[in-house]
Every structure is written in C-alpha cells, then in structure tokens.
Amino acid sequence: MARHEYPWKRRPGWWLRNPRYLAFQLREAGGVVCALYGLLLLNLLMQLREGESTYVAFLTMLRTPPVLYLNGVLFGLVLWHAISWFMLIGKAQPVQLTRKPLPWKAVFGINVVLWLGVSGAVVYLIFGGI
C-alpha cells in the first residue's frame, strides 16, 4: 500500500501570525534598508560631482515631506535592525572572559553605550564643528 503523505505547505502571511517572526522580518528588512541608504549616500556624492545646481536640486528633493516621512520609517527600521542585532551579539559571538560567557544583556548594554558614544561623536563633528 503506497503511503499518501500530505506535504507541508507554508501559508502566506506566516510571519504576521507570530510577533517574533514579525520582529525577525523587520530586522532583516532593516538590513536591506541600510544597504539602500548606503546607495543613496553614494548617489549623493555623484550628484555633488555633477555640480552645485544638481546637488542642491537633489537636496531639495530630499527635504520634501513624502521623502522625509519615508526617511522616518526607514530610520525606524534601521534602528530596529541595530538594536535587534545588539541583542543577538551576546549569543552569536560569546565573549568568554571567565568560566561562563558574558550574559547577552551585558553585551547588549556595552554595545548600546559604544553606539551612543560613536553617534554622539559624529553628531558633534557635524554640528558642533572642530
């Protein structure tokens, strides 16, 4: 007698039915957004090379409300990507100074402090000036 197994089929929207799956998908999407933002910055440099008028036109376009709102959303995704990866680093790369590796919460905390520190330095460089 042949076996009639029913192959498992994934239901569309599977990642909406579980908050942790959703968090994962957003984290991964955040990674894509980071890459795209890098391309945008590259494009900004290219616009700068084209000349002042094209550069200024590009910046004006970036300041329009739809683009600003979009940037807000994308910034949120990038933030979530960074925070969720900081939460995983403790497990992905265990730092073992004593018998047991450092608990992930400690690694998370250290990374957040470093991140805020570096971000603060960058903000100071751009707006505070040297």
Partner 1 sequence: MAEQDVVFRVTRYRPVPGGRPTFQDYRLPFRNDMVVLDGLNYIKDHLDPTLTFRWSCRMGICGSCGANINGQPSLTCETFIRDVSRGVVTVEPLSNFPILKDLVVDFDDFLNKLASVKPYIVRKDWGDWTKEYTQYPEDLEAYRQQSLCINCMLCYAACPVVGTSPEFIGPAASALALRYIRDSRDEGADARLARLNTKNGVWECTFVGECSVVCPKDVDPAAAIQTLKVLATMRHLRRLLMPASR
Q: Which residues bind partner 1 (CB under 8 A)?
A: 1, 3-8, 10, 14-15, 17-18, 20-21, 24, 28, 88, 91-94, 99
Return the number of the residue (49 or 100) whose C-beta is nearest partner 1. 100
Helix/strand/coil for 93: coil
Return the number of the residue (31 or 55) whose C-beta is nearest partner 1. 31
d(CA 83, CA 100): 24
Q: Which amino acid is at 77?
A: L
CB of 100 to partner 1, least distance (A): 9
Helix/strand/coil for 12: coil
Q: Which amino acid is at 118?
A: V
CB of 111 to partner 1, least distance (A): 16
CB of 109 to partner 1, least distance (A): 18
d(CA 45, CA 33): 19
